Structure formats: structure tokens, C-alpha cells
Structure 1
Amino acid sequence: MIPADPASARDFPDPRQLIADTDWGRLEVMVGPEQGCPAVPDLLATLLEGVPAARARALFDLGAAVHYSNTIVEATAPALLVVAALLTDPGTDRVALPSLPYRSSTPSSVRAGLLRLVEGVTGDVDQATEVAGRRHGFPMTAEMLQVRAIRPVLFPVVHGLLDDLDADVRVAAALAVVPLLEDSTLAPHRAACRERARTILSASPDPRDRALAALPTLTPPLLRNNLFPPVDGGFDDDPPF
């Protein structure tokens, strides 16, 4: 059973078992083997046991497979459940990542990168996204609702990393916990978690994080991405362009 209590993240299932038990072939992805991207289960396995360079590439490819152009697909929620399991596995602890060529940025570690994926996906199913989507004729999809349904499951893992020894992991966890707290079942945790996230973001070297910390409700990722465009250069695709 996947835990839903913040104190039980240590009991999360083994990621290898979750990968093996999921029928990935039946789940839609945004980018897959037909486009030259490895299959989702292979990417998840690489994130757990690959060499750092392979893990960095797998992290980028996983984002393309299950969240390309901010689109939520059938494989997104199952992949996030495995991501949560990866975040609790010793195999992802303190694994630094090298920079990828032709990428604007690469997370400093596997766990920081996985948390950024959680932040991005769950931020794209928050209330602000729903309101904006309906305004333009795009209601919530079944796949988006599936992601919403697992927010209480993701929470204990993200919550536990707010006190990680790695400052980058703490910042990534602080950003990821904000959209999760919209779930009504997590209401008892909102005040304490938001205050903890604010403290972490206030100490971040990134001015965008510090700007978020100064906002009353810790602005969700949707608004954060619109207000603060990347300041470093790079390309999303490999050359030739």
C-alpha cells in the first residue's frame, strides 16, 4: 500500500517493483521510442541505477515523455508515483549530475531534478491552471485529474525532503510542496509547510526563489514561470537545429 501520511514516506514501495508492476505499453506518452526517446520504464530504471551522465539525460527525456509542452498524458501519474519511490530510494541520494550540452540548465542532483518534475507536473493541475484552461475552452482532462488524485501520495515524500542536507534539494522540495498543498486532505499541513517553504526559499541564492518567498501565498509554478523567465541561455533540442 502506498502511504498517504507524512510520517510514512519510509514505507514507500520499491521503485523497481512499481516499474515492473505497471503496464507501460498501454499508457500514452508525449514522446516515445518512435521519436527516438527511450521508453518510460527504461528511463526510470536509468534514473535509479545509471551513471550520472545517463541519469541526467534520462531526467530530461522523462520530462519530454510525460510532460512535454506542459501536457499531462496517461503515463504522467504512474511515472510520478515511481518518481516518488525513487526519491525515497538510497540509490538516488547524493547523486550529482553533470551539465548536459545544449541544455539551458541541468539540476545539480537526481533528487533535485525529480522534485522539479513533481513541481512542474503538479503545478499544471492546480486551481490557477484549471481557471485559465476553462477560460480558453480547455477543461481538466482525466489525466490531469489522475495527477490531482495522487497529490496526497506524493506529499509525504516531498515533505520529508524539506529538511534534506542538500540545499538544492531543500529548495526543490519547497517549490514542489506548494502545489501539493492545494489538495483538501492536506489542509492541516498547509500553514506549517508554507512557512517552512518560505524560510527555505528566502535563503536561496536564486532571486526568483526569494521573490516567491516574499509573496503572501507562495505563488504557484504557473505564475512563477510567467513572471520569471530563464536568465541563462541554451536550446531544448540537440543540433543540428
Structure 2
Amino acid sequence: MTSQLWDSFRAEGYDEGTDLVPPDAAVDFLAALAPGGRAVEFAIGTGRVGLPLSRRGIEVAGIDTSTAMLAHLRAKPGADQITIVEGDMSADRAPGQFDLAYLVFNTITNLLTQPAQVACFANAARHLRPGGSFVIECYVPALRLLPPGAVAVPFAVEDEYAGFDTYDLLTQRQTSHHFTVTEGRSRVVHSEHRYAWPAEMDLMAQLAGLHLTERWADWSRSLFTADSPSHISVWQKPL
């Protein structure tokens, strides 16, 4: 897992990333699956989703491997209402059972092998009460954008920032390259990921005893199509 990426430097600036601000629609979507109940967030980070969900009256727990990210969460108002577990989302448990488990911002791809991702689904199922839901927000691999013979796809080109992804099609490994210039100083960050198609995730869910109930293109429930760059998927544990 790429937990080493989320060091104190990354944690310090994480909340400034406007592309990671959860829309109200995300909190609405998740809250509707656990009204007045309990939810566990895998890779809770600095609490961008967990805190507003807690303010909706839902009892929230969160699991994360990054000490630095959790330190920022603990310093925020309302964090004392969240049960925090420092551990691996593919193996470690938050206490009790939950109406909802969720994993957002593409974080399933931080698990770098198929067995680890399968284990994550199984761990989510262990957390859920019968009838509970597991929600993942993740991108759809952008392989259609690769010209023949190419291995890289740029996703951002700005004055002080550039980013591109490279792909290994044999291993389903993706590396994101981030180049930032701040006050004349440059910083390069590489993050490793394992991409998985929605259909592959459906099979992981099936192995965990879960079944697909919803799939949307975004938190506002736009229709998911072959051209959708991301998906919101919901799997349910049988009653």
C-alpha cells in the first residue's frame, strides 16, 4: 500500500486540494444509506467526508495507515466524535458493525495488488450488518486516451503544476507523476496505484458476498455510461 506517500508534507497541504473537497451531494448520498446509523470510512485521511457525515448525526469510524493524516484529523473540531483506527483498510477492524462502509477519492487503487483489493472488499463485508452497503468512488481507467504505443496520459498542465499518469497494461499498475513549483522551488511526487475496472470490482464484491445495487457516474446520480470517467458503485450485504 502507498501509505508512505501520505507523509507530513502531503498531509499539511492535503486540505488545500479543491478537487478533493467532497460535494454536498457526496455527503447526501452517503448519509441516505445510513440514516441515524453507523458508518465506517476506509482511508479516512483528514476527515473531509467523515466529519461532515458525523455532523449529520451519523456515528462515524475511520481507518487509515497515515499517522500524519490522522494527526490533522484529530486536530479538527468534531474529531472527538469519530472513532479513529490507525491501520490497514484491507485487514484492520473498527469496533462494532455498521450500516455503511465507504471508500472515496479513488483510494481503493492505493492497494497495489489484486489480493489486497479483494481483501479490502472482504473487510468491508465483515464490518457490515446484514442489509448494509459498501460504496466506492473511483475513476475508470483512462486507457482509451492512450495513443497506440504510448504509455502516458497527462491530466493537468498549469503554470506551477503538471501531472501525468503512466500505465503498465500487464500488471494494471499506474504511476501518477506530480511536478509542482512553489516560490521557485520544485517538488516531484510519484504515487503508485493499481487500477481496476468496475466489472472487476463487481467480482471482488461477489467474492465477499456482496451484490451490486447501484452504479452512477457521480454523486448526483448521473447515468453511468461507457464514456463516464468515474463511477460511484454501491454493493449490499444480503439480509
Fold match (TM-score > 0.5): no
Structure 1 length as normaliser, TM-score? Answer: 0.32
With CA pairs under 8 Å and 6+ residues apart, which has the higher RCO, 1 or 2? 1
TM-score when scaled to structure 2? 0.32
Higher strand share: 2
Between structures 1 and 2, the one with greater helix share: 1
